[in-house]
């Protein structure tokens, strides 16, 4: 199976976690896009969605799926999103699609988090994928130096075909930190969150996944954690 076929398989399986009559949190990225397309086939069964990015909101609306502002929503039954890496504890690195802050916000208020990914995203130790950190622009260089002091190799993410910093939906800049071996994801998440000027770090460890649906050549495998 191709990587896209694996993503389609887990997106289809994730429909089984959609709660009828409820609001569903929807993530950002290529795997989440496959889920949105699947969700469109059962859109009449749900009340609506909360999107983790402007791009996701546009895709949902394009399918005629209602999108609510989080401030107008009391609860979210389940949040469904991909991951750049996930380990055996359910901790994840996210943010390759630049939506980490809104993803983290939506995940934090959802009753359950279902991660959907192809099998290559399951790793023993997080960190081979560069860790995204969203920062207030004026604090970019100050945070950059602190991230370098942790032993990583930080790099400012730039706009495609440009030397200008990439700007998120929140107006933030992104620093991608390569070369980390993250053996204690919760501790590192807390450390980076404590740096003045950091908006959010792409470690989802304090609030990790409850379920991970992994697309493999043998079919969709399910991992579960308490929470």
Domain at 162, CATH number: 3.30.70.260
| 48 annotated ligand binder | no
82 annotated to a ligand binding site: yes
107 and 8 share one domain: yes
- 178 neighbors 155 (Cβ within 8 angstroms): yes
Mean pLDDT across the stretch 195-205?
A: 98
Per the CB < 8 A criterion, the answer to whether 136 and 172 are in contact is yes
Same domain, 12 and 84: yes
Is 97 flagged in the annotation as binding?
yes
Task: Find out whether 171 is annotated in a ligand binding site.
Answer: no
Q: Is residue 223 within 8 Å of residue 90, measured between CB atoms?
A: yes
Q: Are residues 135 and 68 in the same domain?
A: no
Residues 217, 155 share a domain? no
User: Is pLDDT at 96 greater than 80 in this prediction?
Assistant: yes
Residue 29 assigned to a binding site: yes
Same domain, 149 and 71: no
How many residues in total does the chain contain?
Answer: 227
Q: Which domain holds residue 141?
A: 131-201
Whether residue 189 sits in one domain with residue 219: no
Asked whether residue 141 falls in the same domain as residue 189, the answer is: yes
119 is an annotated ligand-binding site residue: no
Is 53 labeled as ligand-binding?
no
Residues 7 and 42 reside in one and the same domain:
yes
212 has pLDDT over 70: yes
CATH number at residue 25: 3.40.50.1360
| Residues that are catalytic | 103
What is the arithmetic mean of pLDDT over 152-178? 97
Whether residue 48 sits in one domain with residue 91: yes
Do 51 and 107 belong together in one domain? yes
pLDDT at 161 over 90: yes
Do 107 and 49 lie in one domain? The reply is yes
Task: State the greatest distance between any 2 C-alpha atoms of the chain, in Å, as a whole number.
Answer: 51
pLDDT for res 1: 80
For strands 113-118 and 78-81, give the pairing.
parallel
**Do 117 and 183 fall into the same domain?**
no
- Tell me the average pLDDT across 72-101: 96
**With 0-12 CB in 10 A as exposed, 13-18 as middle and 19+ as buried, what is 138?**
exposed
Say whether pTM exceeds 0.75: yes
Q: What's the number of domains the chain is made of?
A: 2
């Amino acid at each position: 199976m191709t990587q896209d076929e694996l993503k389609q398989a887990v997106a289809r399986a994730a429909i089984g976690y959609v709660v009828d009559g409820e609001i569903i949190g929807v993530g950002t990225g290529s795997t989440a896009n496959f889920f949105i397309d699947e969700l469109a086939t059962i859109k009449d069964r749900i009340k609506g969605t909360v999107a983790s990015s402007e791009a996701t909101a546009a895709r949902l609306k394009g399918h005629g799926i209602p999108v609510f502002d989080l401030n107008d929503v009391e609860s979210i039954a389940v949040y469904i999103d991909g991951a750049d890496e996930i380990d055996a504890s359910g901790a994840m690195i996210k943010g390759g699609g630049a939506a980490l802050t809104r993803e983290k916000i939506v995940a934090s208020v959802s009753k359950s988090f279902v991660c959907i990914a192809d099998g290559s995203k399951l790793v023993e130790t997080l960190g081979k994928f560069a860790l995204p950190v969203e920062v207030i622009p004026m604090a970019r260089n100050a945070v950059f130096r602190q991230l370098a002091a942790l032993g990583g190799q930080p790099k400012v993410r730039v706009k495609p075909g440009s030397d200008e910093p990439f700007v998120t939906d929140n107006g933030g800049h992104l620093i991608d930190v390569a070369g980390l071996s993250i053996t204690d994801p919760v501790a590192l998440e807390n450390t980076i969150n404590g740096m003045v000027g950091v908006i959010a770090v792409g470690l989802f460890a304090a609030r990790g996944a409850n379920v991970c649906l992994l697309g493999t050549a043998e079919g969709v495998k399910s991992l579960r954690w308490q929470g």
